[in-house]
Structure 1
């Protein structure tokens, strides 16, 4: 039993970089890895055959350790939660769900305002505000900026394209037309 706890502490120490019994609270979720970490990144082809093998082995070991860490954190959470009453567990779950619900409602409102104001979908996440009125005002400001950037600043050159005068067929015709 004692050895299992020591291994859990060692795993958490490696992950957080803190000393056992340190001042920082332990993380309850493993950190999110970079999506490029498990795929071939830039420069991987320069490693050669042995380097690629070593890199693949390292990534495989890293994935295994992350899975072990997640399992260990889940086990620690179980031990922390075993002394809680059902009411405390339910209140934590309700708080978590309310936080998620509020985030989803705010996101839905941003997209609603973006659709109503005919704002491009990619700009909907950039809207700021907590009420519909604030979001609409921000959408109006954002639309003004988008429309200003989309207006062409260059005036057309009348000498380009089809003009009123026919093109000369030879150099001598062009010279005589210039001096007329």
Structure 2
């Protein structure tokens, strides 16, 4: 177990460029948009007790640095906005609202076309195009693909299902029909 821990330290120092056994301690890595940053990864159980402790400490430091970065970015934005006039702030707000409005209108159009073409809702986001005609053409081609994949590959067995003989109404009729 001690050997695994040493290998982890060696790998860590090689990645950061620090020399093992001296010098400055490695600086924390810049925050990344890693969805598993605060959750257990696939190989975490192989690290052992010391490795898990180091990993938890690293994740805690990473979370702290991300919070500090967000606060620093908020302060930078505050300083940038301090010198702007009200008209500039309003024009920026209008531009962001127009961008949001355009995105929402395109999304609504995709869903309208999906409903009109009877395309499953989960596939509505996959539609490509900027006009209604382009979206409808894409929906038609997507429907062809979906219908090809949904067709059963097995032919029905004609021996299954309702036969020509009427069903017996009682147990005695079933028994007598069996022995005929």
Matched-pair contact (CA < 8 Å) for 2:4–2:47: no
Rounded to whole Å, the distance in 2 between the matches of 1:13 and 1:81 is 41
Matched-pair contact (CA < 8 Å) for 2:18–2:24: yes
Deviation at 1:33, TM superposition (A): 1.8
Rounded to whole Å, the distance in 2 between the matches of 1:78 and 1:6 is 45
Runs of 4+ in 1 over 3 A off after TM superposition: 1-32, 152-180
User: RMSD over aligned Cα, in angstroms?
Assistant: 10.4
Q: Secondary structure at the match of 2:47?
A: helix
Change in CA separation of 1:84 and 1:159 when aligned onto 2, cut-off 3 Å: same
Matched-pair contact (CA < 8 Å) for 2:18–2:25: no
Structure 2: segments with no counterpart, 5+ residues = none
Encode CA deviations 1:101-134: one digit per residue, 9 max, x unaligned: 1111111211121122111122111101112222
Encode CA deviations 1:114-166: one digit per residue, 9 max, x unaligned: 12211112211110111222211211111011112222345567899999999
Encode CA deviations 1:46-79: one digit per residue, 9 max, x unaligned: 1111111111111111111011111111111111
Matched-pair contact (CA < 8 Å) for 1:44–1:52: yes
The 5 A counterparts of 1:117-128 are: 117-128=117-128
Matched-pair contact (CA < 8 Å) for 2:18–2:26: no
Change in CA separation of 1:127 and 1:146 when aligned onto 2, cut-off 3 Å: same
> Mean alpha-carbon deviation: is it higher for 3-12 or for 106-115?
3-12
Rounded to whole Å, the distance in 2 between the matches of 1:97 and 1:23 is 51
